[in-house]
Amino acid sequence: MSRTLQAPVTVAFDYTRSTGPVIGRFFSGLRDGVVVGGRTSAGDVVVPPLEFDPVTHEATTDFVEVSSVGTVTSWTWVPEPVKAQPFDRPFAFALVTLDGADVPMLHALDVASPEDVSTGMRVRVRWAPERIGAITDIECFEPLAPGEAEAQPLVEVRASASLETKEDDVTGVITTVSLDYNYAASPEESLFYRGLNEGRIMGQVCPTCQKVYVPPRSACPADGTPTAEEVELSQTGTITTFCIVNVPFLGQKITPPYVSAYVLLDGADIAVLHLILGVPADEVRMGMRVKAVWKPKDEWAYSLENIDHFAPTGDPDADFDTYKQHL
């Protein structure tokens, strides 16, 4: 048996961001198939445009269109691409100074091997088939064909007047983030979940203050001592506090109204949060005695959900003094 329980977990979320006028102008250009840079107070054309001038700190308002052809100023090979990079096969990341710009921009370069890329090589933007106003509208850079470099005319940098803000400018962008982890429980959490998989509720005792923690923690949060001694808890306890859930929400598994309660198991010093069933919601009360009701054994896993809910025992309520320290 491994020391700790481990499982793969994916954390995913979409970031929705407003672009502001400068990045919005840049993304609008990409959507329309042109690369837009911003001119700084020093006269340099920067791609992507800087939102604020590095010297005067004024907002960038002087936009210029630059070529979609440029020169590689640095590159690195990506032998083992990671998820969501522009390619899932080996490729290069490159810094490319587009004709008409003064500083390089970062993007992928589609070449088959490191032998096919060199600093100084001429490349062009390969546009994505569908463009939405995002950096990924540039699918990648690709090498110019032999002889093509000379044939490609330098675009004349257009005056800013031709690049005025338009009504359909991009104002927002959504970036999807999805992170894969191998998630480990602590040795103490592993004890807890292994216990649940056997129908037991395990805790640990702090050797300093004798408090019993369930689930057990790596150290007593009160005094920082590791909690080594294991203890099996009673499956009966007292409701210390509760709330009646009336509001529906995304992913809700139980139809409201239902009761979510802190249950202080007999012998424990910290309550566990769980569901109360087997009693009308409006009859649940502080001090009510409840017991764990387990799911059928063939549904058990390393989960607190093995306990389906807590239900009233029918015993008289606990005296307030027995749990007032745990509120």
Partner 1 sequence: MRDVAVVGFAQRQMPQFDGSPTCVELLVPVFKELYEQTGWTRKDVGFWCSGSSDYLAGRSFSFVQAVDAIGVIPPVNESHVEMDLAWAMYEAWIKIQTGEVDTALVYAFGKSSAGVLRRTLALQLEPYTMTPLWPDTVSLAGLQARAGIDAGLWDERAMAEVANRSLTDAEKNEYAIRKGGSSVEELLARPMYADPLRKHDCSPVTDGVAAIVLAAGDKAREVRERPAWLTGIAHNVDPMGMGRDLTRSPSAQRAGAALDLDGVEVAELHAPFSHQELILRRELGLGDDVAINPSGGALASNPMFSGGGIRVGEAAKKIWSGEADKVLAHATSGPALQQNLVCTLEGTL
Of 181, 183, 175, 185, nearest to 10 by C-alpha is 181
Residue 5 or 259: the one with the smaller Cβ distance to partner 1 is 5
Q: CB of residue 260 vs partner 1: minimum separation in angstroms?
A: 20
Residue 8 or 296: the one with the smaller Cβ distance to partner 1 is 8
Residue 138 or 276: the one with the smaller Cβ distance to partner 1 is 138
- Buried/exposed code over 252-274 (b: 16+ C-beta within 10 A; e: otherwise): eeeeeebbebbbbbeebbbbbeb
- Given the rule CB under 8 A, which residues bind partner 1? 2-4, 6, 9, 11, 15, 17, 19, 23, 26-27, 46-48, 50, 54, 73-79, 82-86, 93-95, 103-108, 114, 119, 134-136, 173, 175, 177, 179-187, 189, 217-226
Residue 165 or 234: the one with the smaller Cβ distance to partner 1 is 165
Tokens of 111: 């070449």
Q: CB of residue 33 vs partner 1: minimum separation in angstroms?
A: 17
Q: CB of residue 199 vs partner 1: minimum separation in angstroms?
A: 24
Q: CB of residue 112 vs partner 1: minimum separation in angstroms?
A: 13
Residue 11 or 145: the one with the smaller Cβ distance to partner 1 is 11
Q: CB of residue 81 vs partner 1: minimum separation in angstroms?
A: 8
Residue 30 or 292: the one with the smaller Cβ distance to partner 1 is 30
- CA 272 from chain centre, in angstroms, equals 27
Q: CB of residue 218 vs partner 1: minimum separation in angstroms?
A: 4
Taking the C-alpha atoms of residue 143 and residue 75, their distance in angstroms, rounded to an integer, is: 13
